[in-house]
Structure 1
Amino acid sequence: MTSTKEAGMDIAVLGMGRMGRALAGRLLEGGHRVAVWNRTRGKAEEIVSAGARQAQSVTDAVDGVDVVLTMLADDGAVRAVAFGELRSSIAEKSIYVDCSTVSPKLSGELAEVYLARFLALPVVGGPAAVSAGEAVLLAGGDAGVLDRLGPVISSLSDSVRIYDSAPLALSAKLATNLLLLSEVVALAESFAVGRSGGLGDAQLRDLLGTSPLVPPGLKNRFEGVLTGSPDGWWTTVLGAKDAGLAADIAREAGVELPVGTAVRKRYEVAASSGLGDADVAAVTDLYRVGRVLGHRPLST
């Protein structure tokens, strides 16, 4: 991967949440020229200090760029940007890449509007994985667009899975997310069983911390689930949203997901009971002794 500025592309990153900042930082390290925009100010200082340009609007961000990349929270946020100011201001030569976790239906609509210059590129992995170049990219769309994005893709990760369409890439992303969300709830309940039977946290850590029953992806959240730490990047609100999108895909195909529905409900309860901004690992707080029907634990 080259890092010379001359070989870099002009890229706009819209959305400065933790994932958006990680993507922008990785692209800067790859020698690209990056403009950043966020609906609310104040989230991009670190990226701007690293060399990105702070745009005042979507139109300002996408002016003259080769690639526009969005990493936004949900369908509503993507719709507002992609079918609003972006659609009216993006240049004919620019490629639009959406990395957000949205419904396959919306991703299909984006492909219909932006045609052969659109690529869905949801990301498997958190901000740390993105920053380290270790995330998995799920690319869905026109093969020619993917080829044109070679410098961007190679800057972000060497691990890319390619799908024939944007909706397929989003279905793959949501299938992956539902698995991890379910594993987090299962681990929280396993801890609850152990604690209810008298095991302490140190004993649970010793029992399950290195167990082959805990897959590698879940090990990254093991301590967070054990302690109920709110720190992280994937909030319970977003977890509930993703589980709901996964259930929607199955429902439209006539498939029932009783476990997936229960998992979504767990994150909805967590989000509505004071944990909305906490990482999905904090769902374990629902299982603390003294917690009933979404109320916080009794004081000790």
Structure 2
Amino acid sequence: MMEITVVGMGNMGRAFAKRAYSQGFEVLWWNRTRERVKDAPGRPIEKLAEARGLVAVFVSDDDALLAVVPDIGGDYVALCGTYSIQGVKRALEILTARGRRAFAMPVVGSPRNVENGDAIYIVGAHEEIYTKTRPILEKFGALFYIGDSIKAAALKLAFNTLLISTVAVLGEATTLAIKYGIKPDVFKELLSQTVFKEIAARYIDRMLGSAQPTFTLKNAAKDMRYASNAAGEAGAGNVAMSGVKALYEVLAALGYGEEDYVKAGIIEGK
């Protein structure tokens, strides 16, 4: 039985572990605060060096990533979180120097998508590694193969930038309508007849509701910071994303960091 090790058992890591278990893999997992992990399949490991098989890393940010890669075991190491370009470069340098076969494989989708097997994985592995790991990876979702880890990391940052910016502006637009006495359902009805139909249907009720978030405002602020830095390093346009970054950073500093990221434009208008 092939082994899967998950490093970082937050919402995404736990969902990946559940998916692996449902597909018949032997699941191992590691979390810095093991006592906080509830209802996880498989068995915990004490040390990162005990990782086996395909190791999926879902730790939260660059600092956490660079803290774990010097000790990770396993046959292949996939960096599945959203990290900065420089963070991915440094992590891969460390892993390669240790003889680990490693690549970026950020995920597009929610924990529900990951658990159900319909998330998208942007695979940055070189062709030889991809050929060997593809039969395993295909059990987890759709594979978007790009063959370069830095491009995979950049593509995830580009996607998250568009998504986070879109919902922030949608929140502001919804608040504008509400302030002028227009009910959210009326605004949704208008948008349902436009290119914004699916976005409005998916996010407006969520913005105004109270469901438990799976991706928080502070995480969105982190991703926008990484994206803005990447744009600056590459000499790309950075005006709009810098504004969105500032919005999320300010709201996080004001104590809204644990709120659902889609609420940024609504919270701002209060």
The TM-score normalised by the length of structure 1 is 0.83
Amino acid at match of 1:253: A
Q: Is residue 102 from structure 1 mapped to residue 86 from structure 2 by the alignment?
A: no
| Between 108-117 and 187-196, the greater mean CA deviation after superposition | 108-117
The TM-score normalised by the length of structure 2 is 0.91
Amino acid at match of 1:135: A
Match of 2:22 among 13, 23, 29: 29
5 Å matches for 1:194-233?
194-208=177-191, 210-214=192-196, 216=198, 219-225=201-207, 227=208, 229=210, 231-233=212-214
Amino acid at match of 1:31: G
Q: Which residue of 1 aligns with 2:13?
A: 20
RMSD: 1.9
Amino acid at match of 1:284: G
Change (3 A) 1:153 1:165: same
Change (3 A) 1:219 1:145: farther
Q: Distance in 1 between matches of 2:209 and 2:255?
A: 13
Match of 1:121 among 105, 119, 144: 105
Question: Where do 4+ consecutive residues of structure 1 move more than 4 Å?
Answer: none
| Between 104-113 and 182-191, the greater mean CA deviation after superposition | 104-113
Match of 2:65 among 78, 81, 92: 78
Counting aligned pairs with the same residue, the percent is: 28
Q: Distance in 1 between matches of 2:237 and 2:131?
A: 38
5 Å matches for 1:276-295?
276-288=257-269, 291=270
The structure whose Rg is larger is 1
Say if 2:82 and 2:223, in contact at 8 Å, map to a contact too: yes
- DSSP-derived class of the 2:143 partner: strand
Q: Distance in 2 between matches of 1:123 and 1:217?
A: 20
Q: Which residue of 2 aligns with 1:151?
A: 135
Amino acid at match of 1:47: A
Structure 2 unpaired stretches of 5+: none
Q: Is residue 136 from structure 1 mapped to residue 120 from structure 2 by the alignment?
A: yes
Cα displacement string for residues 220-256 of structure 1 (whole angstroms, at most 9, x for unaligned residues): 333122x053622111111111111111111112233
Q: Which residue of 2 aligns with 1:184?
A: 167
Q: How many residues align?
A: 267
Q: Distance in 1 between matches of 2:195 and 2:55?
A: 41
Amino acid at match of 2:227: A
Change (3 A) 1:13 1:129: same
Change (3 A) 1:202 1:220: closer
